[in-house]
Amino acid sequence: MLLTRQYLSKEGEEHIKTFKYQGDDPSYMYKYYNSPIAEFVLKHFIPRWLAPNVITVIGFCFTLTIHFLFFYYTGGEMKADYYPPWLFIAAIVSLFLYTLFDNLDGKQARRTGTSTVLGATMDHALDCLNAGVIGITLISSINMQNTKGYYSMAICGFMPFFTAAWEEYHVGGMFMPVINGPNEGVLAIQIFHFLSYLYGHQWWHVETFFGLQRAEFFILWSIFQAQLISVQNMIRVATLKSAMPIFKRFRQLTMLAFFILCLILIQLCSPTDIAVRKGRWIIYFFLFGWAKCVTLIHVWYGANQPLNLVRPSVVIPYAVFTANSVLGYFLGACPVDEDTLLYIGVVVMFLVYAHFAASIARHLADILGVKIFSITDTPKDKKN
């Protein structure tokens, strides 16, 4: 395992070998729409030799492709003067295919008896990245490049996903509510893209209630919903009967608080208003470190290891960038050009995440005696 790092203890490795994933999705949309479609496609179109992890990656590629198309039309920013109408339809189709493949991978794993912690971790890790990818694409679709759009990505993208993983760690599984993000949430995003297709992105910038534009009203409502979900996660963990003191449980949210604090300080202190000018790139910058921490929660849940999320490889780049903006507020100009430092930071955090992903995938594959992107004859775990 040259140039990789181990995140699991010897005891954790033993737990990984015997880990059985638990979860439930009581959504009616999943039960009567998403799941039956996935079952039909699995039965008629998916060969048994296709590895579940390959299906997971293909599903992510659909939303990533549309994301890059919006990137092209925005010139790397968050909004554009013109989008071709077909792009909004393509975004809707990509979300449908992402949801389809997100359901197919688990069904294929159970069908072939190849369910493992590795597959669950890859699915979870790519879902983390997708939270940023889908969110930025939606903000671009409604052309919302301002402070509210920035905070919607920071809060709606980061908070509920982090607290949901943290809740999973403590309650022993991912038990979703009847109305949830992977089903009804994705449908809502598809509807927003369809409205942009029907009326154009300018439709979102007409004043409605309380002097707010449609886009602003939607974003403020989304922020409220995201905070509500996070509060529900926190209540469940706080009321859980556990030997771990409540203070210690909530101390595990330190990294989430750190992410949000950095994002707020950058928005408030940047002398060049970089949070609005380069909102897409700020989210990219924080997305990789956040995804690393959330994925680690999932891995350590399977390994029954204590959470140790304060990672120097994550903390140091964000602290440096935030300090540069704060100093710029007091000095009138940042010691280091913010744009240059941001682009360097995005590259650094991408490499940090890529190294982490390669390390954890390789280590889990070695522990379980399986291959990452092909089906082996003797999987160690028969339950997803």
Does residue 370 contact residue 7 with C-beta atoms inside 8 Å?
A: no
- Structure confidence at residue 22 as a pLDDT band (50, 70, 90): confident
Among candidates 149, 141, 145, which has minimal Cα distance to 69? 141
pLDDT at 1 over 80: no
* DSSP helix/strand/coil, 307: coil
Give percent above pLDDT 70 in the chain: 97
Among candidates 355, 350, 364, 289, which has minimal Cα distance to 3? 355
Structure-block tokens of residue 343 = 């682009």
Q: What is the mean pLDDT of residues 119-142?
A: 93
According to DSSP, residue 334 is labeled -
CA distances 217 to 6, 149, 152, 210, 225, Å, are 45, 11, 11, 9, 12
Distance, CA of 231 to CA of 166 (rounded, Å): 12
pLDDT at 89 over 80: yes
pLDDT at 160 over 50: yes
According to DSSP, residue 207 is labeled B
Structure-block tokens of residue 262 = 């950095």
Distance, CA of 193 to CA of 62 (rounded, Å): 15
Among candidates 220, 78, 229, 68, which has minimal Cα distance to 163? 229
Considering only 144-158, 189-203, 356-370, which range has the smallest mean pLDDT? 144-158
* Cβ atoms within 10 Å of 384's Cβ, excluding its own: 21
- Structure confidence at residue 148 as a pLDDT band (50, 70, 90): confident
Considering only 54-63, 168-177, 187-196, 292-301, which range has the smallest mean pLDDT? 168-177
270 Cβ contact list (under 8 Å, min separation 6)? 325, 328, 329, 334, 338
pLDDT digits (tens, 9 = 90+) for 175-186: 898 989 899 999
What pLDDT is recorded for position 155?
83
Nearest 5°: phi and psi at 175?
-110, 105
